[in-house]
């Protein structure tokens, strides 16, 4: 069976139980993205969650509407037919999802912008490990910096391809994200995101040259102000060597702030 819309349906009952147990979902509003045939949905509802699910595939939507007709009628389950990368998110407390791997990055960033108490998300193992890579090490990247700026990342457990139908070509990892305020003051979150993006799009270059390569996105005047305000030690580093404090410092200089201050 070929996976539609990059979906691989979780079949491992023990894994489903472990995923649901990672958050206290009873009595909470839970967002599920890509419910597929509803195996995880059923477990969440059984655990006492009030679930809203977003599903793209119209044939799966029809199956979910039939399977959970009683729960829909009782107001325990709401189904949204749409693309989780674009559709407006409803209010929710917790998100639990087996994400489509090709859309993992944009959905994760959208969730962080939307805000939540906790997220339990399934990712391709390599993606999850990049997300959790310590900032300031060669393994880190834009994903590591952006997620860890706004959330604690815990790799919970791995699953083999055989836990899914059809089996993906890669191993998977369940990750728990717990949001927190940025550890350093950020004057403008959009500028911060742009700085991180531009520096890692030039990750083989020093911070000085990476910033200058991003003048089109950041503004030439802003870039030169940031370079003038940074010590040579930082300007000569590559992006993967920078700390969260330094990323905040660079972004704040681009917006006219002198330096980040701890919150």
List, for residues 40-94, the tens digit of each pLDDT value: 999 999 999 999 999 999 999 999 999 999 999 999 999 999 999 999 999 999 9
Does residue 8 have a known ligand-binding role? yes
Query: 230 with 259: CB under 8 angstroms?
Result: no
Q: Do β-strands 151-159 and 29-33 pair in parallel, antiparallel, or remain unpaired?
A: unpaired
Q: Is it true that the peptide bond before 166 is cis, omega within 30 degrees of 0?
A: yes
Residue 8 pLDDT class (50, 70, 90 cuts)? confident
Does residue 218 have a known ligand-binding role? no
**pTM of this prediction?**
0.91
User: Mind listing the domains of the chain with CATH numbers?
Assistant: 9-179 (3.40.50.150), 189-255 (1.10.8)
Q: What percentage of the chain has pLDDT greater than the value 90?
A: 90
Does residue 55 have a known ligand-binding role? yes
Does residue 209 have a known ligand-binding role? no
The answer to whether residue 25 scores a pLDDT higher than 50 is yes
Query: 71 with 46: CB under 8 angstroms?
Result: no
Residue 99: which residues within 8 A CB-CB, separation 6 or more? Answer: 33, 34, 107, 108, 121, 122, 123
Q: Dihedral of CA 172/103/107/141: which sign?
A: positive
- Find the Cα–Cα–Cα–Cα dihedral 90, 122, 136, 197, rounded to 10°: -50
Helices marked H in the chain — which ranges? 13-21, 39-46, 58-67, 69-74, 104-114, 125-132, 142-150, 189-201, 207-213, 215-218, 220-229, 232-235, 244-254
For the stretch 184-208, pLDDT in tens is: 999 999 999 999 999 999 999 999 9
């Amino acid at each position: 069976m070929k996976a539609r819309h990059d979906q691989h349906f979780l079949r491992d009952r023990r894994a489903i139980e472990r995923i649901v147990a990672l958050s206290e979902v009873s009595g909470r509003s839970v967002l599920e993205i890509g419910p597929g045939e509803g195996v995880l949905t059923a477990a969440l509802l059984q655990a006492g969650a009030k679930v809203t699910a977003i599903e793209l595939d119209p044939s799966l939507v029809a199956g979910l509407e039939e399977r959970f007709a009683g729960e829909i009628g009782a107001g325990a389950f709401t189904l949204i037919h749409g693309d989780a990368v674009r559709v407006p998110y409803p209010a929710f407390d917790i998100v639990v999802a087996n994400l489509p791997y090709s859309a993992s990055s944009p959905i994760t960033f959208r969730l962080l912008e939307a805000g939540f108490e906790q997220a339990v998300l399934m990712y391709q193992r390599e993606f999850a490990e990049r997300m959790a890579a310590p900032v300031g090490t060669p393994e880190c990247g834009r994903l590591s910096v952006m997620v860890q700026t706004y959330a604690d990342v815990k790799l919970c457990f791995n699953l083999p391809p055989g836990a899914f139908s059809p089996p993906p070509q890669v191993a998977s990892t369940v990750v728990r994200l717990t949001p927190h305020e940025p550890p350093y003051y950020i004057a403008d979150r959009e500028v911060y995101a742009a700085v991180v993006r531009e520096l890692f799009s030039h990750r083989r270059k020093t911070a000085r040259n990476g910033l200058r390569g991003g003048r089109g996105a950041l503004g030439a005047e802003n870039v030169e102000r940031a370079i003038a305000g940074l010590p040579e030690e930082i300007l000569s580093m590559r992006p993967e060597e920078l700390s969260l404090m330094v990323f905040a410092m660079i972004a704040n200089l681009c917006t006219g702030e002198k330096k980040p201050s701890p919150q």
